[in-house]
Structure 1
């Protein structure tokens, strides 16, 4: 009985100590406050993240098994030892984060680091839930038998996501972001296709005002004719942009494909360059959405010249994207052949 009490006290003390260590880290940004003297000689941070995510998942599985209610009090010593090993691996994982945060060599893109931090917070939340469940078991207040499995499930999900992130790295995460935006371009193109099938003005001015009497048939006829002419102009404008959007999607999808082909290496590519590309491609999508949305609410006052500024800004973003992709490929000009072909086709047709 004395040994059981001692084991229980040790376990409670361990839980309290571990809670105090992870309590300050509630948000992704709070992880930037971590400091560490960890250095790696025969490995690298991303490899260690991958290893630790797999080890932590395995530990959580063992803890879930030995913390079954009917076995728990017979396994207090085993729970303590397993939880201590589990926590050691958690602290090792946390000690790696400053190697990403204080990246003097510009290896890691900020979008990668932000995703990493978010996943670590998810993991810590799962661990806190597991600690709460073990507390309830120790105090005999566990009325939620599924809570242990829920906590382990949270930890599994976070570990799987960390493993996947480590496997993908900078380039594949950027490729995923671009593919997501390609689907948004598809949505815009569907809107264009729907409009071209049934062209109409944004405010339905062609229908006139049913509440007003207009006895001037000549004026009605003239207005209807003007409206049809404007609709034809709008159709020409949008057909051109349907073609342009196909080209822009080709740019995005081709770049995503090149990122997935592993032709790039971290030695040749700075994290800040990848961040720039990520920001530009998001901006391109925002500008496309704004351009087409403004078009779809056009009325009889439609004039393609009114869209010149928006188009110029979009094309400027595309030029920046092309230039940055060339920088990414500067170590091997052959890799830039496809982007040169795209640039010539898209921009020369507009000159």
Structure 2
């Protein structure tokens, strides 16, 4: 029986490698492209996220059994084989199927890639645990005295099992939050990055000199004080201009930072499955992530250009930020289930619609100062 178990463990490892390959982005995309049209209705009926959550929870439960059996004396190959067969024949196929049903068309590219990554991680961690169990089985097969496992050996199993549990929990939580929850989490992360960048700019003082360098060069500087009086006046003018550009940058970035909590509270929180069920909703989510996701890097670049006193480059980054932010506000102007009226007539919308239109007007005024700063 022990020999049969080692064969089954080897088969399981091979299967896990194949499944991990199936869940690589290129392989998954190829398998989905063939049946995208046929699967659209099937995806809705199958409820892939519910299946994904159930299968990852089932894998976690089977891992608990497997780890306990692996460290319990006497070692029982038949019981472990039963667990592995259940995983191979039911749990893993369900996990793979659910992961592949989370298509880019139905769930956005970003969420699709996230699910593939998280599922592959769970499989990789499970493979590591199976490898540990295989070593135990091979040792038991060759150990005539059947010695008890040491604490260190048991710890290896429990640590490996813990890593699988953690990976499964992440899959379950991500599936439970769904696409909108995933997007909201990303927007929250970008919001925090922008807040940090704005705080750094606020704290930055271009008037601060390099005291260490000034002290080091003190002797020479005293000899040159008279020659540098004119330069000091120029420096004062430069610092004043830089302070003004800092003020303009902050005036510009603060309404940009306001977008993120506004979008979270009015278009993502409590939105449920509405963005996925309305026409163009998934594409809109995709675009929002693409545009809002670019802004934190652009803010960092704009700040860097400001610190380097490169007004032209800083202004260009600010214009790019405005473009992404404005397009986002235009996309989300109306509630998910409303469309713009015919002949360019503005729909009533909701309170966020009013806020977004006001925001656009404010940005028109704020951006006038970029050219003159």
Which of 1 and 2 has higher RCO (CA within 8 Å, sep 6+)? 1
- Number of the residue aligned with 2:249: 241
Query: What is the alpha-carbon distance in structure 2 between the residues aligned to residue 134 and residue 34 of structure 1?
Result: 34
Query: What is the alpha-carbon distance in structure 2 between the residues aligned to residue 327 and residue 110 of structure 1?
Result: 23
Write the mapping of 1:195-344 to structure 2, written as runs, cut at 5 A.
195-196=204-205, 199-200=207-208, 220-258=228-266, 259-262=268-271, 264-268=274-278, 270-298=281-309, 304=311, 307-326=314-333, 329=336, 331=338, 333-334=349-350, 336-344=353-361
Q: Which runs of 5+ in 1 are unaligned?
A: 1-6
Query: What is the alpha-carbon distance in structure 2 between the residues aligned to residue 297 and residue 12 of structure 1?
Result: 63
Contact 1:28/1:117, CA 8 A, preserved across alignment: yes
Note the C-alpha offset of 1:153. Answer: 0.8
Contact 1:107/1:270, CA 8 A, preserved across alignment: no
Write the mapping of 1:5-44 to structure 2, written as runs, cut at 5 A.
7-24=1-18, 25=20, 28-29=24-25, 32=28, 35=31, 42-44=45-47
State whether structure 2 residue 64 is matched by structure 1 residue 61: yes
- Number of the residue aligned with 1:183: 192
Q: 1:307 to 1:128 in 2, by over 3 A?
A: closer
- Number of the residue aligned with 2:128: 129
> SS of the residue aligned with 2:51?
helix
Note the C-alpha offset of 1:210. Answer: 6.6
Q: Which has the higher helix share?
A: 2
Query: What is the alpha-carbon distance in structure 1 between the residues aligned to residue 182 and residue 193 of structure 2?
Result: 17
Query: What is the alpha-carbon distance in structure 1 between the residues aligned to residue 315 and residue 301 of structure 2?
Result: 13
Q: Which runs of 5+ in 2 are unaligned?
A: 141-148, 340-348, 369-373
Query: What is the alpha-carbon distance in structure 1 between the residues aligned to residue 70 and residue 225 of structure 2?
Result: 86
Note the C-alpha offset of 1:123. Answer: 0.7
- Number of the residue aligned with 1:109: 108
How big is the alpha-carbon RMSD for the aligned residues of Structure 1 and Structure 2? 3.2
- Number of the residue aligned with 2:94: 92
Equivalent residue pairs, number: 335
Note the C-alpha offset of 1:132. Answer: 0.9
Query: What is the alpha-carbon distance in structure 2 between the residues aligned to residue 18 and residue 221 of structure 1?
Result: 79
Contact 2:70/2:133, CA 8 A, preserved across alignment: yes
Contact 1:192/1:242, CA 8 A, preserved across alignment: yes
> SS of the residue aligned with 2:110?
helix
> SS of the residue aligned with 2:182?
helix
> SS of the residue aligned with 2:367?
coil
Query: What is the alpha-carbon distance in structure 2 between the residues aligned to residue 346 and residue 275 of structure 1?
Result: 24
Q: 1:294 to 1:211 in 2, by over 3 A?
A: farther
> SS of the residue aligned with 1:145?
helix
Q: 1:213 to 1:232 in 2, by over 3 A?
A: closer
Note the C-alpha offset of 1:33. Answer: 6.8
Higher mean alpha-carbon deviation, 106-115 vs 213-222, is at 213-222
Contact 1:175/1:257, CA 8 A, preserved across alignment: no
Q: 1:265 to 1:168 in 2, by over 3 A?
A: same
> SS of the residue aligned with 1:266?
helix
Query: What is the alpha-carbon distance in structure 2 between the residues aligned to residue 41 and residue 323 of structure 1?
Result: 29
Query: What is the alpha-carbon distance in structure 1 between the residues aligned to residue 180 and residue 231 of structure 2?
Result: 55
Query: What is the alpha-carbon distance in structure 2 between the residues aligned to residue 348 and residue 205 of structure 1?
Result: 42
TM score, norm. by length of structure 2: 0.78
Contact 2:252/2:367, CA 8 A, preserved across alignment: no
Query: What is the alpha-carbon distance in structure 2 between the residues aligned to residue 21 and residue 100 of structure 1?
Result: 21
Query: What is the alpha-carbon distance in structure 1 between the residues aligned to residue 303 and residue 44 of structure 2?
Result: 53
Query: What is the alpha-carbon distance in structure 2 between the residues aligned to residue 330 and residue 42 of structure 1?
Result: 22
Note the C-alpha offset of 1:212. Answer: 6.7
